[in-house]
Structure 1
Amino acid sequence: MEKYLREWRQDAVNKHQYDTAIFVADKLLAITGDDQDAFWLAQVHFSTGNYNRTQSLLARGKLSDRNPQCRYLAAHCSIKLGKIEEALQTLGEKNPSHLVSVAGSGSARQKLRHVDTNSRAGARHNKSGARNERLPTSEERDREEVDNIKSEAGMCYLRGVCYAKQNSFDRAKECYKTAVQIDVQCFEAFDALMANSLMSPKEEWTFIESLNFDSITAPGNSSLSQEAAEFTKNLYTTRLSKYAKPEEFANATDTLSTHYRLGSNPDILLSKADLMFTQCRFREALALTSSVLAKDQYNFSILPLHLASLYELSQTNALFLLAHDLADTNPNEPGSWLAVGIYYLSTNRIAEARRYFSKASMMDPHFGPAWIGFAHTFAAEGEHDQAISAYSTAARLFQGTHLPQLFLGMQNLQLSNLSLAREYLSTAYSLCDTDPLLLNEMGVVAFHSTDLSAAIKLFQKALGYSQQNEADPDSIIPTRINLAHALRRDGALEEALRVFEEVLRHGVKDPGVFTAKGLVLLEAGRSWDAVTVLHEALAVAPQDPMATDLLNRALEANETDSAVFMLEAAPSQNGMGLIEDEVDDPVFEEALKRRKNALRDMEPNRVAGRRGRRRRYAAGFVEEESDVGESMVVDSDG
């Protein structure tokens, strides 16, 4: 009869007929009185959302004290009910560190780290019910049942969730790490570490190398155990940061795609698209995300990346249609309102964008794209103080990513706070030293600090990484322009002219670029060529004040050069009275001298003007125009 009832209960659960499952499980528990049958009845109550009833059932026979699985379920109920302190009291504040498995453990496959000397009997619970660490003997993990070990890992994960809700992110990070170290198959904890950017790229790779994937076992088949361990490691590798070791990521995805036919799996495609976006290959990233959404329309894990790609490629119509559909069909998902906010931002309706970014962040306080988008709205309006405050919140929430620190540096750079900008950018560089956007911003700070050699090296390094990543040509144009300005200020006029010509060959029709090229030609003494280029600038922007001023100077210089040429070519004999009269005229000679001196003393850095600049953020969502200032250097884009 017990077997019959268990099979009936399981069949009802499989069919989501929870009333039937509760009815049968209740009779089974009355017959057997077994803790496992009580646990399964509590599981069914939990599945129906009856969290208070689940806790009442578990407390009835003090199941939480005797069974780790029941304790895990009771704490989970408290979290669902918003009772964080109660959940922590159930879980205890200390992680069972003695259960951590170390990589490379030898023949036993499980070598344990020992941390305490308390007896096992007294370590389960103290009188108040709080849990302490247990006896750390080398055989303890082997004595633990597999289900109990997994429950201990699950409780570490829940402990991290509680600390995260209390904004204690350092403690949450340690709990998540311990959960994965105890049970390498506890993907919930691993995903929390990656999705919330709690570790830097270097820390992520160090952490995954420390995990004991050999602890994964397939009973009765050692070769399958080894293959399963490698398979799991490759899956985890695809979730790591794409900045640190793209070649190892590529090897993992190739193995999963060729050996296990996972090339079209949404998670693998998401990882590839994330790499494409990181490398500024936006069209390729959009193609991958679109292929996923074509099969799984409401895959919210890939949605932020898809929205960012649409924004970068200025596809406002696609953003409108997607945002409208998501708001109608999934109003309880923060990703839906993120889509609405990005659409409004793409159409320059900043106030509406800010409202919906804020709504998304309130629905999920740890939703990174919403926080970054919210901060970008202040940056788009030039509200630097509010933007700095919002980026600081993002930096506190997502400690492992360099982007909030990068954006803080960019805001301080716009405020001309070079020392603060340098400090924030250096912090971002310590987290990620291969982002072309970051290197570009560091180069701008060096440029404004008159450290031209350092600026040139940083711009060249940023271009090197961009070319290595095969980034979209449009995304590296601002860095090329910055490099050309730095070369001009450093006196390398021919090299600066070559870089400006490379920019123009990409089809750029920016009056600022034509004007900068004209300035270089003017400094190089090629006044007639400068006149030609400056006319091209005025053809694009007829009212451009910088191009107009430089054109006047170039015409004066060209006139002076022509007069000097005529003087040098004039014959000495009589018959050219007009020229001889002008040569002998002291007023003409004085005017000629003044023009030469004015041309010689003209300082290019006094020429000021405006240049539109486009800002692309790796996490998305902002374009703005602002004064470039005296140097005309574009302090954005990668």
Structure 2
Amino acid sequence: MEKFLRDWRQDALNKAQYDSAIFIGDKLLAMTKDDHDAFWLAQVHFAAGNFTRAHALLAKQDLIASNSSCRYLAAHCLIKQSHFSDALALLGEHTPTHLFTSNPKRKIGRSNARAAPGRLSSKTPSHGDDSAAEESSNRRYEASMCYLRGLCYAKQNAFDRAKEAYKDALRIDVQCFEAFSQLVKNSLMSPDEEDEFMQSLDFGFIKAPGDDPDVEDEPADYVQYLYQTQLSKYRNPRAFNTAIESLSTHYGLEHNADIMLARADLLYTQCRFRDALSITDQILEDDKYNFAVYPVHLACLYELRKVNVLFLIAHELADTHPDEPCTWLAVGIYYFLTGKIADARRYFSKASMMDANFGPAWIGFAHTFAAEGEHDQAVTAYSTAARLFTGTHLPQVFLGMQNHAMNNMTAAEEFLKTAYSLCKTDPLLLNEMGIVLYHQDRLKDAAKMFTQALRIADEMDSDPVAWLGARTNLGHAYRRLRLHDEALEEFDQVLRDGGKDAAVFCAKGLIYLDKGEADEAARVLHEALAIHPQDPIATELLNKALDESASADIGLPPDGGGGGLDAEFDRFEQELGERKFAAKLRLETKARGKAAATAAVAKDKGKSAAKPGRWDAGGPDYNKRRAGGVMEMSDDE
């Protein structure tokens, strides 16, 4: 009868018929008074969502302190009820470091255990197998309790302790994917730290069942490949490509949603938005409610300005899944793209309140303040994101951008340096560092940063169009360094990759003026005005180029002879003297007296001093126009 009831209970549990499983499990426990039956009844209550009842049953049977499995289940019940302090008190803060698989003593013990069965009697191996199975089970529960401890720390905003607890879980049991997912999904480790931690894990602890030595190490490689696809795409692309190729060709995972999403994430970091979108479209066509895909999918739609598609997705998700944070992320992105910043902020905030660890919602919320020029509030929002997601460099990059916008160059440089310590291979970050250095007049360092950004973008096989800004900035840095040929080469490359741009033609015209080639400057400035006829910078530079060209055409060539520029200056001085003498005669004949004449002169001088000159009146506005145009024109001509 006991076996019959246990099979019935398990069958009902497998079918999610929780009422039947609870009914039968209760009768079974009343008959047997067995701890295992009590534990399984608590499991059924947990699966049914009766967390309080499950915890009370474990406490009534005095099972919480008996073994790790019951303690894990009780703590999990408390966490589901949001009693994080009580759960942490139950779990304790002690980490079982003796269970770390990287410990050499554990490896020696395992090797001895393999050699021992040959010397034991025929009954002993069965007992040894049971002990090994029980030890493995306890190890897994200990790792899971480390994972639960990390959840409690995260809810208490102790993210450093949460990260260590998750890492301890993986050190004990490398197959504890929940802990690995929390580390990666919440960006708790930097790309370099992820790579170092992966190398420290003992994947060799995973063995295939059986005695075939040729396949016993295969699961270790398989799990390592799976984990590698989930890591940051800014670090170690060779390992990522190897993992993807192996999983796709050897194990048939080419069309698996997680593998395809990893590819799309890589393409997104390369700014190849159309390619990434085609992959996410395939995933959602097969399973349109795979919410892990939506952050990358929505970001690609935003970059490609697909307003109608965003509207349809946001509308459908709001109807079918109003309890998902991704739903309100989609609504926020739609409003942000259409320029309704206040509505976007409201829905980004709603998504972040539904899931406090939802990074895209926090970044979108901060972007709304930046879009409106509310730099102080944007800094506060980005700082919150940086505190929540300590392993990603993006909040620090955005903080540097905001301080740059407020002209706080020192603070901007510090934030960007912090971001650089987290990730050294993001072209966006290197470009921003170069811009700050440029405005600090550290032109050689700025040129190095721009060059490094373009080199890494090329190594990543990134879309060249996405980095036209960095190439333009490099051209400006070369221009101010008087490396005219290099600057012209960069600007020509920008024009080839990105089409016509009036600002780039203005920059080329400025270079030709600096080289004394007024005719060539006039030609390219005419091209700028053909693109943007009202461009004030191009208009003013063209006037200057035409004046210089006309001045060069008047008079003799500047060959240093007597009829050259010196003769021209002599004629100018002579004409000026004649005009002064004529003016003096007119004043003398019209004078009413020396005192009156002096007063009149003084009065005229006062009027002329009060009247602004052309450059006094136009200078600041001109500089402002230049600063609003292209980056280089905020400094000097």
TM-score by length of 1: 0.85
What is the alpha-carbon distance in structure 2 between the residues aligned to residue 2 and residue 627 of structure 1? Answer: 83
Q: Secondary structure at the match of 2:216?
A: helix
Q: Does 1:166 align with 2:181?
A: no
In the alignment, is the contact (CA less than 8 A) between 1:534 and 1:547 conserved in 2?
Answer: yes
Extract structure 1 runs of 4+ deviating beyond 6 A. Answer: 566-572, 581-584, 587-591, 604-607
Partner of 1:598: none
In the alignment, is the contact (CA less than 8 A) between 1:196 and 1:366 conserved in 2?
Answer: yes
In the alignment, is the contact (CA less than 8 A) between 2:362 and 2:385 conserved in 1?
Answer: yes
What is the alpha-carbon distance in structure 1 between the residues aligned to residue 325 and residue 626 of structure 2? Answer: 37
Partner of 1:214: 204
Aligned-pair RMSD on alpha carbons?
Answer: 2.7
Q: Give a deviation string over 1:482-539, Cα, whole Å, max 9, x none.
A: 0010000000112111111111122433321121111111111121121122122222
* Residue type at the aligned position of 1:82: S
What is the alpha-carbon distance in structure 2 between the residues aligned to residue 40 and residue 506 of structure 1? Answer: 65
* Residue type at the aligned position of 2:572: P
In the alignment, is the contact (CA less than 8 A) between 1:567 and 1:583 conserved in 2?
Answer: no
What is the alpha-carbon distance in structure 2 between the residues aligned to residue 583 and residue 413 of structure 1? Answer: 47
What is the alpha-carbon distance in structure 2 between the residues aligned to residue 432 and residue 88 of structure 1? Answer: 33
What is the alpha-carbon distance in structure 2 between the residues aligned to residue 555 and residue 267 of structure 1? Answer: 62
Partner of 1:265: 256
What is the alpha-carbon distance in structure 2 between the residues aligned to residue 546 and residue 70 of structure 1? Answer: 75
Q: What does 1:425-464 correspond to in 2, within 5 Å?
A: 425-464=416-455
Partner of 1:132: none
What is the alpha-carbon distance in structure 1 between the residues aligned to residue 621 and residue 576 of structure 2? Answer: 25
Q: Does 1:586 align with 2:572?
A: yes
Q: Does 1:363 align with 2:354?
A: yes
* Residue type at the aligned position of 2:623: A
Query: Residue 323 of structure 2: which of 322, 332, 338 is its match?
Result: 332
Q: What does 1:511-550 correspond to in 2, within 5 Å?
A: 511-550=502-541
In the alignment, is the contact (CA less than 8 A) between 2:91 and 2:149 conserved in 1?
Answer: yes
Q: Secondary structure at the match of 2:64?
A: helix
Kindly state the Cα deviation for residue 263 of structure 1 after the two structures are TM-superposed: 0.9
Partner of 1:124: none
What is the alpha-carbon distance in structure 2 between the residues aligned to residue 335 and residue 295 of structure 1? Answer: 18
In the alignment, is the contact (CA less than 8 A) between 1:582 and 1:588 conserved in 2?
Answer: no
In the alignment, is the contact (CA less than 8 A) between 1:281 and 1:471 conserved in 2?
Answer: yes
What is the alpha-carbon distance in structure 2 between the residues aligned to residue 406 and residue 542 of structure 1? Answer: 36
What is the alpha-carbon distance in structure 1 between the residues aligned to residue 469 and residue 8 of structure 2? Answer: 67
Q: Secondary structure at the match of 2:285?
A: helix
In the alignment, is the contact (CA less than 8 A) between 1:103 and 1:213 conserved in 2?
Answer: no
Kindly state the Cα deviation for residue 590 of structure 1 after the two structures are TM-superposed: 7.5
Q: Give a deviation string over 1:321-367, Cα, whole Å, max 9, x none.
A: 11111111111000110111111111111111111111000000111
Query: Residue 245 of structure 1: which of 236, 241, 244 is its match?
Result: 236
Q: Does 1:405 align with 2:420?
A: no
Q: What does 1:466-505 correspond to in 2, within 5 Å?
A: 466-505=457-496
What is the alpha-carbon distance in structure 2 between the residues aligned to residue 538 and residue 237 of structure 1? Answer: 52
Q: What does 1:600-619 correspond to in 2, within 5 Å?
A: 608=623, 610=625
Kindly state the Cα deviation for residue 541 of structure 1 after the two structures are TM-superposed: 2.2
Kindly state the Cα deviation for residue 86 of structure 1 after the two structures are TM-superposed: 1.2
What is the alpha-carbon distance in structure 1 between the residues aligned to residue 33 and residue 383 of structure 2? Answer: 54
Kindly state the Cα deviation for residue 213 of structure 1 after the two structures are TM-superposed: 1.4
In the alignment, is the contact (CA less than 8 A) between 1:103 and 1:212 conserved in 2?
Answer: no
Pair 1:590–1:202, CA change in 2 (3 A) = farther
Partner of 1:96: 96
Identity of aligned residues (%): 56
Structure 2: runs of 5+ lacking an equivalent:
113-130, 578-618
Kindly state the Cα deviation for residue 161 of structure 1 after the two structures are TM-superposed: 0.4
Partner of 2:613: none
* Residue type at the aligned position of 2:417: S
Pair 1:160–1:483, CA change in 2 (3 A) = same
In the alignment, is the contact (CA less than 8 A) between 1:528 and 1:558 conserved in 2?
Answer: yes
Q: Does 1:10 align with 2:18?
A: no
In the alignment, is the contact (CA less than 8 A) between 1:443 and 1:459 conserved in 2?
Answer: yes
Pair 1:53–1:454, CA change in 2 (3 A) = same
Query: Residue 350 of structure 1: which of 341, 359, 363 is its match?
Result: 341
Pair 1:432–1:103, CA change in 2 (3 A) = farther
What is the alpha-carbon distance in structure 1 between the residues aligned to residue 572 and residue 26 of structure 2? Answer: 117
Partner of 1:146: 136
Kindly state the Cα deviation for residue 547 of structure 1 after the two structures are TM-superposed: 1.2
The structure whose RCO (Cα within 8 Å, separation 6+) is larger is 1
Q: Secondary structure at the match of 1:63?
A: coil
* Residue type at the aligned position of 1:518: G
Q: Give a deviation string over 1:271-329, Cα, whole Å, max 9, x none.
A: 11111111222222111111111111011111101111111111122111111111111
Pair 1:144–1:9, CA change in 2 (3 A) = closer
Partner of 1:631: 633
Structure number with the higher helix fraction is 2
In the alignment, is the contact (CA less than 8 A) between 2:473 and 2:631 conserved in 1?
Answer: no
* Residue type at the aligned position of 1:37: D
Pair 1:64–1:100, CA change in 2 (3 A) = same
Alignment length (residue pairs): 571
Partner of 2:193: 203
Q: Give a deviation string over 1:105-138, Cα, whole Å, max 9, x none.
A: 6454589xxxxxxxxxxxxxxxxxxxxxxxxxxx
Partner of 1:37: 37
Structure index of larger Rg: 2
What is the alpha-carbon distance in structure 1 between the residues aligned to residue 333 and residue 546 of structure 2? Answer: 47
Pair 1:322–1:256, CA change in 2 (3 A) = same
Pair 1:331–1:582, CA change in 2 (3 A) = same
* Residue type at the aligned position of 2:2: E
Kindly state the Cα deviation for residue 80 of structure 1 after the two structures are TM-superposed: 1.0
Q: Does 1:313 align with 2:313?
A: no
